[in-house]
Chain A
Amino acid sequence: MENTNNIPTNPFKLLEGDEKVPENLKDKVMSSINFSNMLLDITELFTTNMASSVGSLFKVDSIGEKEEKNKDDKENKK
C-alpha cells in the first residue's frame, strides 16, 4: 500500500467500486427525461397563455396611451 517514497497511497482512491451499471438504466433515465420534457412543454404552454390572457384582461393603458386614445376619439367625433 505504500509507494516508493514511503508516502502512504491514498486508500480512498482505491475504494471506487466496479459494479456494472444495469444496461436498461439508460433507457429508463432517458424516457423519464423525455416525459419530464413533455410535462414542461405542457406547463409552459398553459402558463404562458394564461399569463398573456390574464394580462390582456386586466390591461391598463399608460397615461400616454390614454391621451392618444382621447385624441383619436375626439377626432372621430369631429
Chain B
Amino acid sequence: MEPTLLTDEEIVSQIVSNRDTQLFEILYERHSGRVYNKCFSFVHENALAEDLTHDIFLKVYLSLKSFEGRSKFSTWIYSITYNYCVDTINLKKKTTQKLEEYQYDQVSFTEPDDAELFCIQIEVLTKILNTIRPEEKSILLMKYQDDFSLQDISDSLGIGLSAVKMRLTRAKQKVVDLYNAKSSHITA
C-alpha cells in the first residue's frame, strides 16, 4: 500500500518495527503545521517556536515505542507538544508563577457553563489565554480546541480524572473572571 495512504497509527507501527525514517517524514508533513502553531501560540516568537517544534518531533520519534494506541496519534503528539511548551515556559519564569498561583488559589470556584466561555470574542480570548498560566491555557486548548476526552487529558498530565475536572473548572473560571473584569473595565 502507498505509505501516504496509511493511517498515523499504521505508520507508527511500521517505524517501530523497521526504523524507517522516510515514513516519519509523512508524520512530520501531517502534523508539523499544527505543532508549530501550538508552539507559536505559547512563545510568540518564530525562532523559539522552531526550536520547540524541532525538539518535539525528535522527542516524538524517540518515544514512538511507548505509543500504545490508547488514544489517536494526533492526541498523543499534541499532548507531548503542550507538555513540552508548558515545561519550557515554566523553566523560564518559575518564581513569579508560584506567587500568582498562590494568590489565585485563595479564591473559591464554581464551574462556569461552556456557553459563558464560548461567548468570548476571539481577540479577547487570545489576550486572556496569553495572560493565564501555561498549564491552564494548555488544558483548555486540549479540551476545547483538540477535543481531548477527560481520560486523554488525565493520561497526558499524569493526574486523576477528578484532578482534571478540578483544573478545568479553575481554568474556565479564571478565563470567565478575567473576561468579566475586562468587560466591566471597558463599560466603567
Whether B182 is near chain A, meaning CB under 8 Å from some CB there, is: no
The interface residues of chain A lying within 8 Å CB-to-CB of B110 are: none
In the complex, A63 Cα to B46 Cα: how many Å?
66
How many angstroms between the C-alpha atoms of A34 and B58 in the bound complex?
Answer: 10
Distance, CA A14 to CA B120, complexed state (A): 12
Given A8-B118, A11-B122, A21-B36; A29-B28 close (CB under 8 Å): yes
- Which of A14, A28, A30, A32 contacts B122, CB < 8 Å? A14
Q: What is the minimal beta-carbon distance from B157 to any residue of chain A, in angstroms?
A: 18
**A-side contacts of B144, CB under 8 Å:** 10, 12-13
Q: Does any Cβ of B come within 8 Å of A15's Cβ?
A: yes
Of B17-25, B88-96, B99-107, the segment with at least 4 beta carbons within 8 Å of chain A is B17-25
Question: Which listed segment binds A: B1-9, B48-56, B161-169?
Answer: B48-56
The contact size tier of chain B is 35 or more
- Chain B: interface secondary structure? helix
Q: How many A-B residue pairs have CB under 8 A?
A: 80
B57 surroundings in chain A (CB, below 8 A): 29, 33
| A25 adjacent to chain B (CB < 8 Å) | yes
Known contacts A1-B121, A19-B46, A21-B36; is A12 also within 8 Å of B145 by CB? yes
* In contact, B32 and A26 (Cβ under 8 angstroms): yes
Q: Is the CB of B50 within 8 A of A22?
A: yes
B67: Cβ under 8 A from any A Cβ: no
Given A21-B36, A22-B46, is A34 in contact with B118 using a C-beta cutoff of 8 Å?
no
B interface residues (Cβ-Cβ under 8 A, vs A): 19, 21, 24-25, 28-29, 32-34, 36-37, 40-41, 46, 49-50, 53-54, 57-58, 61-62, 115, 118-122, 125-126, 129, 140-141, 144-145
| A residues adjacent to B (C-beta < 8 A) | 1, 7-19, 21-22, 25-26, 28-30, 32-34, 36-37
Known pairs A16-B145, A26-B29, A33-B24; list 12 more (Cβ under 8 Å). A11-B118, A16-B34, A16-B37, A17-B37, A17-B40, A21-B32, A21-B53, A26-B25, A29-B58, A30-B28, A33-B21, A36-B61
